[in-house]
Structure 1
């Protein structure tokens, strides 16, 4: 077999000639979903057309003259008409679009996304009731992103600039392509178990919607929701359809913004503390001076100066009242003793035994005092109590007083 050796230029020229001469590469239709749409002021439109497995670059030059819509958006399902174009110097090929026809339905990926969004919305995954507050002064943060990507570099750079003392724990994860959602979910679950971490940032830099699609996957949504630590979704994009943004405790448009949201500026904190210190010192000084002036005024006050004399006068008055009270108490006690003595004598004089001592007697009949003759009769036995002794008698005769 003859050995064929071509230069790169020769080979690319052969490919260009083949593609341009093949009728299969001209005047054909392609169906797929739009992604990475970019309208340029020059009048050119660039985008990617994709299906579930593959994608291809497309360009529509002077699209306005071809009556191509200016409201194309991510996920639109379209049918395009055009030819294959090949650029020799780069060895790239793309579809040169002459016409775009929008289909009246969302792309399959967005249909799936809307279903997931509705499902998790009903479950309450997006509710503000379950959002956790970010710590005001975190000491350690965890990051789930690609090790070699710009996202991690941006987070580290921003953190070091704002608060150099903060520690960063990285879980390197694949953030696009097959299996990315599982690695992201595993990273969140792993960092969530580290007790020292105060919060987690999970995300990546910008890209096409298919590059970001892992953050719309069920595994990632579940890991965000179940994370016990506050978590920030930090995916660089300008659309609002990523489900990780909706379920996260906080959403950042870029990894850099995530670091700005999570990390306070150390210099500002120190400056604020210094301002408060100066304010307190000034306040203490003013208060001290005011109190000192007030004390000086009080020292020179007539009332303060004459206070000792007032105290002496009050003491003398108090002593006088004390002595008077003692005298009155003694007089009262003496008077009460005299009254008590008189009442005692009266009580003694009223004692029946005292009366008997003066020659009187008391006569009883069956333990009842006899006051008049009609209370007894002849032959009754009566007892007469004298001052000393008792006489028991039998009634022989009764005489009434005249």
Structure 2
């Protein structure tokens, strides 16, 4: 069982690493990111502390039987508090109101943690129990109160979480609503699969019955699954915008491939290290800078007669002025790349013409120019041959990522 719990804790904790990785400076200053990471890390620590292997190690190192119990219960209470703090920051409001509610939550659960430790010190729990402590000591003075107290504290946090998710879920939409639904499912699974099972097993002991399997067999995996669902719900609204941006960046990176393979020999931009894990946005930024550098180097080779002929032919073919401009610029650029590769003299038609791709911000203009390389320029005699554009329609594999 320890291996399963450790695996769940690892997956749980990795979410905070992803959230906190970029940008680090902004993350440290964002209370919402900090509270999200704190809740996820504490949830992972609860799972680690609750594993029988960890409990046995802690008991052996401290020399106190069942010392892992107040440690785990205190950690669970801290996790419950962090969940409430996260919901407070997520909900937002005035700075003073948020600060006041956070302080109240921390104070309440701070008292709860102190009470758990005091009750454990007052109790007589000399027999080590790694998996069934809640039911074994269900009738032991002070241990009974400690067990009930940590369960009630965690239940209060989960009930508040469910209420907030249901109420707020009616007011928002999109990925935020999806995240709230995941949190709600996780909280309900925690309430029913973990806490109700624990309550039932403990009350059964009070009544003289044995339903320990609910506490020892059913509750732990339900708690792990609930924690993972809540983690996904917390992280999804934070990660989705970045994931969408990187997905779009990857798409634009690939769309720029025809243009890049046409002009890359003219680029003098320094090449980044070829790392497979480099994010799409970083790859796109480097490719965009390199293409602009190459366009600047090829500008002296632009033959405006080619551009004008292809533009006129495209207009006569029924294309819009914008499409005609893109196709003519693609033909002129292809001709310029051929001249530069063959080390020919620049044409005798110098000018200050600017490509559409250099007039607009972002990668949109470059993507349009790259796509125009695939379009037949409807060339007449004397225009740039279509074979020049066709030669880059199937680019070779990139040498640098």
Q: TM-score range by the shorter chain?
A: under 0.3
RCO higher in 1 or 2 (8 Å CA, sep ≥ 6)? 2
TM-score w.r.t. the length of structure 1 is: 0.23
Q: Bigger radius of gyration, 1 or 2?
A: 1
Which structure: greater strand fraction?
1
Which structure: greater helix fraction?
2
TM-score w.r.t. the length of structure 2 is: 0.23
